[in-house]
Amino acid sequence: MVLGERIRVNIRRFQNDVTQFEFKDDVLACLIHMGYLGYDAYTKEAFIPNREVAEVFEDTIATGDWDDVADALRRSDELLRAVQEREEEKVAKVISGSHQDYASIINYNDENALALAIMVSFYTARADYYVKRELPLGRGFADIVFIPKREGEVPAMIVELKYNRSARAAIRQIKDKKYTGALSDYKGKIVLVGINYSKKTGKYTCRIETFTIN
C-alpha cells in the first residue's frame, strides 16, 4: 500500500477491539476506523489517504524490519535524483531493478509489467507531484505525467514508455504529439524522459531532455 496499491478489505466483522486481531482484515478495518487508512465503499478497498499519512508509514518501515520496502523507497528517491541530474544509465538501472523485483516471471516481458515497474520506481515522487497515468495530452496519451504540486519547487516531468523501440523514439513521440501542450500554462523547467525496454536483450535504455517555458 505504501507503493500506491489498494487492498480489498471486509470491514463488516470489525468489533471495535484493538487488542485482538484474528485476520488481516481486522487490522485494516481498525486502521480505517482510526483514520490511518481511507476506505472506498464502492470498491471495498483500503488505501493510504494522503502523503502525510504515507510518510508516517514510511518512517515506521524505515525504522522497523521492513528492509525490502525501505529499499524500494530509497531506490525511488535515488531515481528522482538521477532524472534531475540527467544520469540516463542510472535511471535505466534503477527501473530495471524494480522490474525484476515486482514483475512475475509469467508476465515479465508484458507492457503492463513495464508500466508497473515505472510507477513503483517513481513512488516517492508523489510527495511533490500529482502523478497521472495515460493523461490525454496533445494528439495522444502520455504514459505518465508528473505535475508539480507547488510551482517552482520541482520541474514538471513527462515519461514516455516504449517496448522494443528506442528511448529516442519515446522522446520523439512526446514532441511529435505535442504532449507538452497540456502544460502550456506551466512556467518553468520540463523534463522529458524516454524509456525503452528491449525484450530481446532484457535491458532498459533511457534518454532525458529538458527545456524551459518562460
Best CA proximity match to 37, nearest among 24, 50, 21, 19: 50
Query: Which amino acid is it at 23?
Result: F
Looking up cell 519515446 gives 170
Do 133 and 34 lie in one domain? The reply is: no
Do 97 and 27 lie in one domain? The reply is: no
Beta 188-198 vs 140-148: how paired, if at all? Answer: unpaired
What is the structure's pLDDT at 9?
Answer: 86
Cell matching residue 107: 508476465
Cell matching residue 48: 493510504
pLDDT in tens, the chain (214 residues): 666 678 888 877 666 555 566 677 777 877 777 667 888 888 888 888 776 667 666 665 565 555 666 677 778 888 889 998 999 999 999 888 876 766 554 455 556 666 667 777 787 787 788 887 766 666 655 678 888 888 778 899 999 888 889 999 999 988 887 776 667 778 888 999 999 988 888 889 999 999 887 7
Sheet holding 7-8, edge to edge: 7-8, 45-47, 38-40
3-state secondary structure of 64: coil
Whether 6 maps to a domain, the answer reads no
Whether 154 maps to a domain, the answer reads yes
Give, in degrees to the nearest 5, the angle at Cα 144 between 42 and 43.
10
Domain count across the chain:
2
Task: Calculate the alpha carbon distances from 22 to 26, 41, 83 in Å.
Answer: 7, 23, 44
What is the structure's pLDDT at 87?
Answer: 94
Do 126 and 160 lie in one domain? The reply is: yes
Do 115 and 163 lie in one domain? The reply is: yes
Do 48 and 72 lie in one domain? The reply is: no
Best CA proximity match to 198, nearest among 167, 172, 163, 169: 163
What is the structure's pLDDT at 143?
Answer: 79
Verdict on whether the full-model pTM lies above 0.75? no
Whether 170 maps to a domain, the answer reads yes
Task: Tell me which DSSP letter residue 127 carries.
Answer: G
Do 135 and 192 lie in one domain? The reply is: yes
What is the structure's pLDDT at 166?
Answer: 92
Q: What is the CATH number of the domain that holds 78?
A: 3.40.1350
Q: What is the DSSP secondary-structure string of 132-158?
A: EEEEEETTEEEEEEEEESSBTTB-EEE
Whether 58 maps to a domain, the answer reads no
The CB-side HSE value for 112 (13 A sphere, CA atoms) comes to: 3
Query: Which amino acid is it at 89?
Result: E
Do 48 and 79 lie in one domain? The reply is: no
Instruction: Give the domain extent around 41.
Output: 21-53
What is the structure's pLDDT at 205?
Answer: 94
What is the structure's pLDDT at 64?
Answer: 56
Whether 10 maps to a domain, the answer reads no
Whether 168 maps to a domain, the answer reads yes
Whether 27 maps to a domain, the answer reads yes
Whether 62 maps to a domain, the answer reads no
Task: Calculate the alpha carbon distances from 206 to 62, 132, 154 in Å.
Answer: 29, 20, 20
